[in-house]
Amino acid sequence: MIKSHFRSSWLRALLVPILLGSPIAGAYAKSTCKNTGSFEGWKREFRAEVVAAGVTPDTIRRTYDLTTFQPDIIRRDRRQSYFSRSFVDFSKRLVSSHRLRTGASKLKQRSSEFSRAEREYGVPAEVITAFWALESDFGAGITKQSQIFDSLATLAYDCRRPELFSRELIAAMKIIDRGYLTLDRMVGSWAGELGQTQFLPSHYLNHAIDADGDGRRDLIRSDPDIIHSTANYIRHLGWRRGEPWLVEVTVPARLDWKEADLDIKHPVSRWASWGVTRRDGRRLGGNLPAALLLPMGRNGPAFLAYPNFDIYPQWNQSLNYAITAAYLATRLAGAPPYLPGRGTVENYGYKDILELQQLLNRRGFDTGGVDGKLGSKSRAAVKAAQLKFGLPADSYPSPELFSRLR
């Protein structure tokens, strides 16, 4: 999965508009930019930066010098249409019975290791296990992966995110120099991520742990290293020991829906005073700050997202992925499947969201680009349009909103 590599809030982890003075053109330009100059020419020029970064000549010779351009990587990076699915569709596909069963088995099999990691890092076993399941199906997914250097070099050359992947390419070579992994184990995803919980090379370099004491930080084959490294990285993202992350709730039929926003947090007592309850109708307890999360709008599933939820959009910018990973962790911890909500909820697809973004942009609402994904910027634009038209501002499109925009 493509991770967010920014430490600001998920709503601000978007590109600054820069092209032609348009409020949306910067982000859109990054997804449609054109490469100039040859890959081999870029390699010759960038090699000086690799040398200056201190990578050993032997590693450069065995990795960087052998890289070749992979046009399919560029196409995959620009497309990523899988994230265009609705939350209900996305979560049903990813939170499978197989992952729940295998996750429960892994929790039991490695219980002592998980307990040790929670004592050290404060991260519950279920949270670690959910990422492990989604990223590689506990290692089953990495058997189909290949060496990452062609991917990283291609993405470093590409105009979309060269600064990011240039750093990751150098970090991957340093992993070999430090002896964390041998070259034959530098296998990963098409985006250059490594290990069973899919760390970018810089995250591997900075957060991988040798938990089994064999002298290597091996997220490919060592369960203890995988568990402790993942917990260490989650703690780095800001995990708060002993606090919840996501709780399913029931919302009243009437609410000031504009308050349902990940950037708006209220004490749980305030949500309770507004009629928000636990899914079984019991009163909410505690007074931690929490945001009301309505991934499919006011008539769909509803959750309270606590401060610990903030680590999820840092792990992956896709809101659907973030909610699904947090939800899977609650299921592994014993929560039941979420309720579908009430009434009819429109399940929009890729083409629907493309049209929505185009309509919003024409009306002057900034969606951050036209990519067919209902991400944070698009949801904020939906909310702004709903407020303008006097519709319930739950940040999820409705037939009424489409009609007004048209």
Q: Could you write out the DSSP letters of every residue in 277-331?
A: EETTSPPP----EEEEE-TT-TTS--EEE-GGGGHHHHH-S-HHHHHHHHHHHHH
Other Cβ atoms closer than 10 A to 184: 8
**Sign of CA pseudo-dihedral 243, 246, 248, 251:** positive
In this structure, are residues 207 and 229 in contact, taking their beta carbons and an 8 Å threshold? yes
Q: Where are the alpha helices (DSSP H) in 71-200?
A: 71-79, 87-94, 97-109, 111-121, 125-136, 149-157, 162-177
Q: What is the dihedral of CA 366, 370, 374, 380, to 10 degrees?
A: 0
CB-based burial, 213-238: b 16+ in 10 Å, e otherwise: eeebbbbbebbbbbbbbbbbbbbebe
pLDDT given at position 32: 65
Cα–Cα nearest to 2, from 261, 188, 227: 188
Cα–Cα nearest to 1, from 154, 147, 161, 141: 141
385 burial class (0-12, 13-18, 19+ CB within 10 angstroms)? buried
Q: How far is CA 169 from its chain centroid? A: 21
Q: Which two tokens stand for residue 167?
A: 């750093």
In this structure, are residues 174 and 139 in contact, taking their beta carbons and an 8 Å threshold? no
Distance CA(7)–CA(311), nearest Å, equals 10
- Cut 0.85: pTM above it: yes
pLDDT given at position 82: 61
Q: How far is CA 188 from its chain centroid? A: 17
Cα–Cα nearest to 327, from 318, 339, 316, 335: 335
Other Cβ atoms closer than 10 A to 71: 10
> What parts of the chain have a pLDDT lower than 50?
1-29
User: DSSP state, 11?
Assistant: T
pLDDT given at position 143: 66
* Residues paired with 199 in a beta bridge: 194
pLDDT given at position 94: 96
How, if at all, do strands 303-305 and 277-278 pair? Answer: unpaired
**Residue labelled with tokens 């060496």:** 147
Distance CA(36)–CA(349), nearest Å, equals 34
pLDDT given at position 5: 32
Other Cβ atoms closer than 10 A to 2: 19
AA letter at 229: S
Distance CA(284)–CA(401), nearest Å, equals 32
CB-based burial, 42-55: b 16+ in 10 Å, e otherwise: bbeebeeebeeeeb
In this structure, are residues 395 and 297 in contact, taking their beta carbons and an 8 Å threshold? yes
Q: How far is CA 225 from its chain centroid? A: 22
Q: Which two tokens stand for residue 380?
A: 């904020």
